[in-house]
Structure 1
C-alpha cells in the first residue's frame, strides 16, 4: 500500500509518500480500506515532534472507510461495513488497522468523507461543550477560530445547547462562515477582549481556545468572574508558564487543558458522543464543511495550508 511516513521530525517536507507494508489485523482489530483521512493540528504536532512518537511512523489520527477484514474475537462488524475512527495512528494510508473497540459504525445517510471530516473534531467539540464546560441556555460563549474545523462545529453545538456565541476570525470570508454556523457576534482578534466585554457587560462564561499563545492572555481577560478557560489546542504555539495568581486577579477563574483521550476513555462515552454527532449530521442539525480534498500524495501541501491558516472547516486526504 501507499502511505505517508515520517522518518524524521520537522516541516511538511518530512512527509514522505511511499510504499509501506500492508497491515494485518491482530485479534480484536479490523483492517479498513481507507476512503478518506482527516487532517488535524495534532498531526502537525506529531510531525514536529511536539508530541513525540517513535520513528518512523505512519501519520494520521482519523479516517473512515470500508471494513476489509476482521481479526479474531471481533464481533458486531462485517466486511463491507462503513466505519470511522479517531485517535488511532496510521490513518494517512490506503489501509489502516484499527482496534474494534475504537471503531464507530457510520449510519445510513452519512458517507465516508463526511464521517472522516466530523469524527475527531466533532468528538472534540462535543466533549468541550458537554463535559469540559457544560454549556447551558443563556450562557455567553467565546469560540476562537470560529471558522476552523472544530470552531464551526463548536459554534453549532453551543447554539444547539442554547448559548449566545461570540466567534473570532481573521478574515471576512471566515466571518461569513462563522455567522452561517450560527455565531451571534463575530470579532477580529485585535482587541477582542474589550469587544467581548462591550457585548456582554461582564465577560463570557467560557472561552474555547485552540489558538494558544497568541490569544491566551486576552482570552483570560474576556472571562467573567468564575469563568472557565478551556485551552484545547496551540495552533499559534505553546502558552508560556502561567502564574496561578493571574486566575485569582481575574475573579477566581478556572483554567483547564483538556485533550480527547480522557473524554472517550470508555466505550460507552465514545458511543454517546459519536451517536450525538452522527445523529445531528444525519438530521441536518450539524453541518460539516469540507473546504478542501487533497490526494494522499499531497499531504505536505495540506499541512502547509493548515499551518498558514489559509483554510476553513475540514481538510481531507483521499488515498
Structure 2
C-alpha cells in the first residue's frame, strides 16, 4: 500500500489542497451549516425511529422498552384488506400528477417567457404563485364552493347551457379529475420559478443565431429553450419519480369525503388514521419504511436511466 507523505504539521500532503480550499471559501461553508444542521436534526436523527417497525411498540414503555416483534408488523401490513387499494390509489394519483402536473409549470414558464409586456408578466406571475401560499384547507373550501351542485359557479354555467349539474366531489371519476386539476392550480405557478430561472440563464446569442437562420418563436422554443433547460427538467423528473409511492396528506384530507373513499384513501391518510387516531405506531412505521425504500429504489433507477440516456442525473 502506498503511504501518504506527511509534512511537519502531521497533515498528509494529499489533504493540503482540500484544506486550502476550505480556508479560501470558509464563509460559504459557514452559510451551508444551517442547511446541514436542518437535515441532520429533522431527517437523519428521526431515522432512528424506524426501529419501531420491528417492535410491538408501547407508548408507555418507550422505543427501547417495548418488546421486539421481528417482521410481524410487515406481515400484518401485507394482510391489511385495504393495502392493495391504498397503494393503487397512491400510484394512480401520483401517475396522473406526473403526466399532467409535471409538464404544467414547463408550459407556463415557456408562455410567460414569451410575454413581452413586463407589467402583464409580473401580474400573471403573482396570480399564478398565489395558490401556493394558501393552505389546502382554504383551497379545498374554494374547490367545494366552486363545484357545488347547487350554488357552484361551474354548475350554474352548466344549467345556463341547459345541461344537468354534475356532482364533482361525489362522483369517483370526477373527483380524480378535480384532484389532479386542483393540484395543477396549486403547484404549477410556483414550479415555473425554477424553469424561468433556467430560461434566463440561456445565452442570448443562441436566440440571435436562431433568428438569423429564420427561426420563429415556436422553432426557438423547440430548438433553443427546451434543450437548454433539459438538465433542469431531467433532475426534477427524477425527483418526481422518486415520490411515486408518496403523497402529501393535506390535499387528500381537504378534498376527500366518505362517498369517494374508494379512490381518495391513500397511504398517507391510512397512516394518519391508523397510526395517529388508533395508535398502531408499529404497523404504520412499517408502512412508511417500505414506502421510503420503494421511493429510494425508484429514484436510483430513474437516475440510472437518465444518465444512460445521455442526460444528467442527480449524482
TM-score interval for Structure 1 and Structure 2 normalised by the shorter chain: under 0.3
Structure with larger RCO (C-alpha < 8 A, sep 6+) = 2
Flag the structure with larger Rg.
2
* TM-score, structure 2 normalization: 0.24
Looking at secondary structure, tell me which structure has more strand per residue.
Answer: 1
* TM-score, structure 1 normalization: 0.24
